[in-house]
Amino acid sequence: MKARALLWVCCVWLAPATGWSIPASELLARSRAAATRGDWNASARSLEELVAAGVDDSSVLYDLGTAYAHAGRYGEAIYRLEQVVRRQVFDGDAQHNLRATRLRLAHRDAERSGRAVAETSLPITTALGEVLPLDAAVLLAVLSQLGALVGLWIARRRSSEGARIGGVASASLFAAAALFALAVLASRARAKPAAIVLRDGVRLLSAPAEDAITAEPVREGERVTWVARTGTFARVETLEGRQGWVRLRDVGALE
Amino acid sequence: MRARAAWLCAMSVCGAIVSRERRAHAAVFLTVEVEPPRAQVGEAVSVRYSVRLRDQGGVQIMPLNFGALQLLSDPAPPQVPMMWGTGFGFSMETSTEYLVRAPRPGRYVISGGRAVDPRTGRVIAQAAPVTLVVGEGSGVDADADASTQPQTESSEAVSDPDAPPNGDMSGAYYDMVGFFRVGVDRPRVYLGEQLTYRLWAYAASPDAGCEVTEEPTFPGFWNEAAFTPTRECAQRWFSQQVNGRFMAIGLVRKYALFAAQTGRQRFGAVIGRVDVMTGGMFRQVRRAESRTPPVEVEVIEPPMEGRPEGYVPGTIGPVQLEASVDRTDCPVGETATITVRARSVGSLSSAQLLFERNVDGARVRAAEGRTAVTPSAEGRYESVRTMELLIVAERPGTVALGEARLPYWDPSTQRYDVARVLLPTVRGTGEAIARGAQATEQPDPTRELRALSERPRLRAYTPWFSKGSRALAVAILPSVAAAIVAGASAALRFKRRADEERASEAKNDPASLLRRAQRSLAEDEREACALASRALERAKALVREAEVELSSDARARVGEAEKALEAVRFAGEGSAREALSRAEDAVRSMLEALR
């Protein structure tokens, strides 16, 4: 009787882990199959499940962003590709697809309303903060500072003039690199959290309520900064300085 | 001697007479008058408290005791200047008027009018008590009246919207000296409807100032300030009778509010202070700290019944529409812009213009609209929403768009309506655009998406840092550590050098002896020269120990230095400074020879 009860408990405990979960490789295969068929929404759905399960490597996000872009969901595509670019600055494919998605969105807007914004330049401090991913900036800052210290030590200890000049020169170079990395980190630390407007037709609300008066619209794929959050609403500020409330489901936080 | 005593006596008598005469002239008169002496219950009665000083020094006037009478004005007594010390005296007259009323019939005694010497506390003068006889009158129950809100009666034209409302003193906590009062022009508005919020400062005297320390807050509303708050207390002044007493009223704040959210909205209390100058000729500032009760406004949505198609909640009218076009003749393929302006005293932020989008021979696009709020002539605010329609003619000929419509809710008539305007026509000129032109457009390589990644890594992204501040803190660690190490080593070096200097000084070596000689030169020249001689001797001993042969020049320097030092020490001749410098030269030459 005891053994049977123990078996039952084990079954109940292990069931969620084994019984109904779909392997990540299976989801990826489904996504690829759907992409081959040209069903980009289905492909994106499988990748969304992967990301929701915690499999959010940059390559998965790149695929998800590209699938969104093919499906015409430009806001979501820009959001995912921005995430990839922030993680891997030198990812050429992600950079290209991000630019292409923005151009596609701009053409769609131009078709609809006669006007479009392809890309908005970021403030210099914000742009500086996104030149390097955080981890890379920290690594660069630490290594450069150590390099500069070693250079200084060589310049002081070595008796030959050549070694002294070499030490000073390398210390200066490392110090410049360290300053650059620290400037990146300081800009990032000062910057408000950024977010991307995911959907078309989102308007800024005057108050955090479903029945609040809507104000100026925000563009799909537009970058906003996160000012505050109340319940299911977030107060955001656009790059032009307009502020208002949006529903949380309408924006994707980049951090 | 006798004559001198007589003269002194005469002077004393004269002094006494003069001082007696002076005391005889000094006087204080206090009067209390009641007008009318017989009154009815609830009737306002004026009480005048007068003070007349004649050749009098400092006095303190005590306040009146009104007994059971209700005092409707400032109870402060007349103010007279305080003159301390003897020999001062002046004459003046001042008075203060009070407003009282009796709660019930009877005899009321007003007493307590006294002038007191502030130095001794002695009562100098006293006013006779005055009796006020109050009859039954018209039967107004003053008690019941007093328990309710104070009543106001304006002396301004009722048509001025910025004047405070008459009747009950709502939106304020009454204070005799001064207080703030808030008011909204209606307690119930529709979503998007304009509401005017005003804040007044009431003061017992027109000579008043005020300061708002906590500004009002308007959750659920957009607000536009009618005037920018300045250092001035108020922008406009009015007067109003509050419980039969005139008060000066300043318009302190005015906001146009647009309801942005339905439900009961509560405006925050205003806190501030009102300063009133009192005391007639001798001014005194009386300060009243005041706060207003919170104001509640109910915001409702227009009814669903009869709602026209395309109506966006929050669009409030009446709306006036006007349309203009930037050019009536437009080449085919180019854009003409029709600008439609909507004006309303309500909100138009979410207004949507309805127009015919499918027009044969032209493409019509609606650009984003923008809303501005500007003051209107009636002291209210007007929303102006500007919307643009972009027209691209595809073939020559006239493009007629018909009319544009804007549905709105009119709170004044309590019904929906639609504002309409006939859009201007545009005439397309030139050649028609071929429909197939767009189809042959070449694909743009910059818009082509690159392929999916070949082998995505199925793993979680785990960054070391997710917050910039933490990353920055870690990144500056090497620099901070290096700075700490460098600082510590510098401190150690400094300490070591100081120790070495102290040790060398303790050892009596020539250089330290010379340094000590230089330090003591200003205080004792002989002592300095003695130290320099010791330094020379020590240097010579070192030379001897090292068995070094000095050059003739060095020997000559040593000899000259010894002579110069001895001349200063024993004969008091020559300059000690010069001798010291010679000794330094000599010691230096010997130390160089040692090296």
Contacts of A145 in chain B (CB under 8 A): 475, 478-479, 482
Q: Say yes or no to pLDDT of B141 above 50.
A: no
- Spatial contact of A175 and A185, defined as CB atoms under 8 Å apart: no
Nearest residue of chain B to residue A83 (CA atoms):
B461
The single residue listed with the structure tokens 């000049």 is A165
- Spatial contact of B175 and B290, defined as CB atoms under 8 Å apart: yes
- CB proximity under 8 Å: B 1-40 to A: none
d(Cα B25, Cα B272) in Å, to the nearest integer?
49
Provide the 8-state DSSP code for B10. H
Residues in chain A with pLDDT < 70? 1-3, 5-21, 114, 158-159
Residue B242 corresponds to which tokens in the numbers above? Answer: 């509050």
- Spatial contact of B590 and B543, defined as CB atoms under 8 Å apart: yes
- Whether residues A215 and B367 touch (CB distance < 8 A) is answered with no
Strand pairing report for B106-110 and B151-154: unpaired
Provide the 8-state DSSP code for B569. I
Q: Say yes or no to pLDDT of B417 above 80.
A: yes
- Whether residues B261 and A211 touch (CB distance < 8 A) is answered with yes
* Helix B576-594, helix B510-520: angle, nearest 10: 170
d(Cα B230, Cα B422) in Å, to the nearest integer?
45
- CB proximity under 8 Å: B 233-262 to A: 258-262
Q: Say yes or no to pLDDT of B454 above 90.
A: no
Q: Nearest 10 degrees: CA dihedral of A59, A60, A63, A64? A: -140
- What pLDDT does residue B156 have? 46
Q: Which among B192, B367, B472 is the nearest to A115, CB-wise? A: B367
Nearest residue of chain A to residue B300 (CA atoms):
A211
What mean pLDDT is reported for chain B? 80
- Tell me whether B441 touches chain A (CB under 8 Å): no
Nearest residue of chain A to residue B451 (CA atoms):
A66
- CB proximity under 8 Å: A 195-214 to B: 203, 206-207, 209, 211-214
Q: Say yes or no to pLDDT of B150 above 60.
A: no
Q: Which among A69, A107, A149 is the nearest to B449, CB-wise? A: A69
Residue B144: pLDDT band by 50, 70, 90 thresholds? Answer: very low
**In chain A, which ranges are E strands?**
194-197, 203-205, 214-217, 223-230, 233-238, 243-247, 251-253
- CB proximity under 8 Å: A 112-151 to B: 112-115, 129, 133-135, 137-138, 141-142, 145-146, 149
Q: Say yes or no to pLDDT of B12 above 70.
A: no
Mean pLDDT of B33-56: 81
Provide the 8-state DSSP code for B574. S
- What pLDDT does residue A207 have? 84
- What pLDDT does residue B372 have? 80
Q: Which among B368, B475, B482 is the nearest to A141, CB-wise? A: B475
- Whether residues A57 and B469 touch (CB distance < 8 A) is answered with no
Question: What are the angstrom distances between the C-alpha of B561 and each of B512, B553, B569, B574?
Answer: 18, 12, 12, 12
> Left (φ > 0), alpha (ψ -120 to 50) or beta: where does B296 sit?
beta
Residue B553 CB partners (closer than 8 Å, separation 6+): B589
d(Cα B400, Cα B356) in Å, to the nearest integer?
10
The percent of chain B in helix, strand and coil, each rounded to the nearest 5, is 25, 35, 40
d(Cα B283, Cα B281) in Å, to the nearest integer?
6
Q: Which among A56, A135, A213 is the nearest to B260, CB-wise? A: A213
**In B334-425, which ranges are E strands?**
335-344, 358-359, 362-366, 370-375, 381-393, 397-399, 403-410, 415-422
- What pLDDT does residue A69 have? 93
Contacts of B372 in chain A (CB under 8 A): none
Mean pLDDT of B347-359: 81
d(Cα B477, Cα A149) in Å, to the nearest integer?
13
Phi, psi at B309, each rounded to 5°: -65, 135
- What pLDDT does residue B11 have? 58
Whether the complex's predicted ipTM is more than 0.90 is answered with: no
- Tell me whether A28 touches chain B (CB under 8 Å): yes
CA neighbor of A137 nearest in space, from A94, A92, A188: A188
- Tell me whether A251 touches chain B (CB under 8 Å): no
Share of chain B above pLDDT 70, in %: 85
How far is A187 from chain B, CA to nearest CA, in Å?
A: 8
Mean pLDDT of B344-362: 81
Size of interface A-B (CB pairs under 8 A): 170
Contacts of B447 in chain A (CB under 8 A): 100, 103-104, 107
Most A CBs within 10 Å, among B358, B449, B474, B489, to test the A interface: B449
Q: How far is CA B577 from the centre of its chain?
A: 67
Residues recorded for chain A: 255
- What pLDDT does residue A194 have? 92
Provide the 8-state DSSP code for B218. -
- Whether residues A62 and B453 touch (CB distance < 8 A) is answered with yes
Residue B107 corresponds to which tokens in the numbers above? Answer: 């005899």
- Whether residues B468 and A133 touch (CB distance < 8 A) is answered with no
Q: Which residue has the higher pLDDT, B503 or B518?
A: B518
The partner residues of B29 in beta bridges, in order of sequence, read B52
- Tell me whether B481 touches chain A (CB under 8 Å): no
Compute chain A's Rg from CA coordinates. Answer: 25
- First-to-last alpha carbon distance for chain A, in angstroms, is 53
- Whether residues B465 and A182 touch (CB distance < 8 A) is answered with no
* Helix A40-52, helix A58-71: angle, nearest 10: 150
pLDDT in tens, B275-301: 887 765 666 788 888 888 888 899 988
| Amino acid type, B106 | G
Strand pairing report for B38-40 and B130-135: parallel
Q: How many CB atoms lie within 10 A of CB B262?
A: 19
Mean pLDDT of B57-78: 79
d(Cα B468, Cα B169) in Å, to the nearest integer?
56
Residue B378: pLDDT band by 50, 70, 90 thresholds? Answer: low
d(Cα B126, Cα B124) in Å, to the nearest integer?
7
- Tell me whether A85 touches chain B (CB under 8 Å): no
d(Cα B578, Cα B587) in Å, to the nearest integer?
14
